[in-house]
Structure 1
Amino acid sequence: MSRILSIAQPFPKFSVSAVISLEPGKEFATLSNENINGKWAVFFFWPLDFTFVCPTEIVEFNKSIKQFHDRDAELYGVSTDSQYVHLAWRKHNDDLRNLEIPMLADNKKELSEALGILHPIEKVPLRATFIIDPEGVIRWVAANDLSVGRNVKEVLRVLDALQTDELCPCNWEKGQATLK
């Protein structure tokens, strides 16, 4: 496994198909760095579609989408399954039908490899989360092993802290004093 890209590094160039809708004829779009230029972005990766932990995370991110949008941040979910597998999963999983988050298909594994997040044995993405600033620079990275889901509230807390552009103490939450 290559090294995971980290803080202060540019988010890699990418262009992939994504599922953005269940409406016939409007299911797919190509998304790239152009979609995130000038915006905060959160990319969260999961190992495989049609599994057990993954939909719990995707659903939780989707429930929180308004909170991310209130922070001028876009959410992007990614796995190495194809856009067709993503679409089938959305159609057959009641919890994913009304998903508002694009499901990016990194089926060539180019983005996952560039980020260094492929599991060394399974060759699927770790449960990695990246917060990207409006200049396209990685500002936060977290990666969990395949069996452990992440905490969406922590992603929001870190995004809030990064957006203050101030020093934030341990356990800081939005609305609390920053350090001077």
Structure 2
Amino acid sequence: MKNAVLSVGTSFPDFNKKAVVSIEKGKEFEDISLEAVKATGKWMVMFWWPKDFTFVCPTEIAEFNKHAEDFADRDAILIGASTDSEFVHAAWRRDHEDLKGLKFPMLADTSKSLAAELGILEENEKVAYRATFIVDPQGIVRWTSVYDLSVGRNVKEVLRVLDALQTDELCPCNWQKGEATLEVA
């Protein structure tokens, strides 16, 4: 039976996974855990893609990388993830020009356990859907977005939603950072 996608207001599952953080020999891998992320007091934006060495995925990863400083400026830790191994991630980073200089880790969920807990594991191929989770500093999911395998997401929309969530106010449709929020009369 398939798990439902983890929704707003629920605790993000605990995890401790290997991640690729560099292509420098001997410094490629680190363990990343929810506990360590929460200890920073920052927000977490975790985005998932189906498979390494594919076509749509590197366009998204490169776009997230272009905006890595924007996430950092918002006190958000950016983490990319898929069900591929850390070794496949490392090979892909070394092989693909747009991925060599990534400023965020590539999490390896080889057991597929985190993807399953999040409810984003595609049933037939057992790969992750294109999902994005914005998690507050307490580890609570504040936004979830899931796309079909063939459709890339909009990174600027992820930033817009993060901005809106961080106001802790009522934000109207299409609200952008710097615009007025809604006042309750």
Same fold (TM over 0.5): yes
Greater Cα offset, 28-37 or 54-63:
28-37
- Secondary structure of 1:153's partner? helix
TM-score by length of 1: 0.99
Q: Deviations over 1:129-174 (max 9, x none)?
A: 0000000000000000000000000000000000000000000000
2:12 counterpart residue number: 11
The CA distance in 2 between the partners of 1:61 and 1:136, in whole Å, is: 21
Contact 2:17 2:31 survives alignment (8 Å): yes
- 1:8-157 superposed matches below 5 A: 8-37=9-38, 38-157=41-160
Q: Structure 1 vs Structure 2: percent identity of aligned residues?
A: 62
| Cα shift at 1:179 | 0.3
The CA distance in 1 between the partners of 2:87 and 2:134, in whole Å, is: 27
The CA distance in 1 between the partners of 2:110 and 2:88, in whole Å, is: 10
- Secondary structure of 2:80's partner? strand
Aligned residue type for 2:8: I
The CA distance in 2 between the partners of 1:44 and 1:147, in whole Å, is: 15
Pair 1:160 & 2:159 matched: no
The CA distance in 2 between the partners of 1:83 and 1:63, in whole Å, is: 22
- Structure 2 stretches of 5 or more lacking a match? none
Runs of 4+ in 1 over 3 A off after TM superposition: none
| Cα shift at 1:106 | 0.2
| Cα shift at 1:122 | 2.0
Q: Deviations over 1:82-129 (max 9, x none)?
A: 000000000000110111110000000010000000112221100000
Q: How many corresponding residue pairs?
A: 180
- Structure 1 stretches of 5 or more lacking a match? none
| Cα shift at 1:23 | 1.1
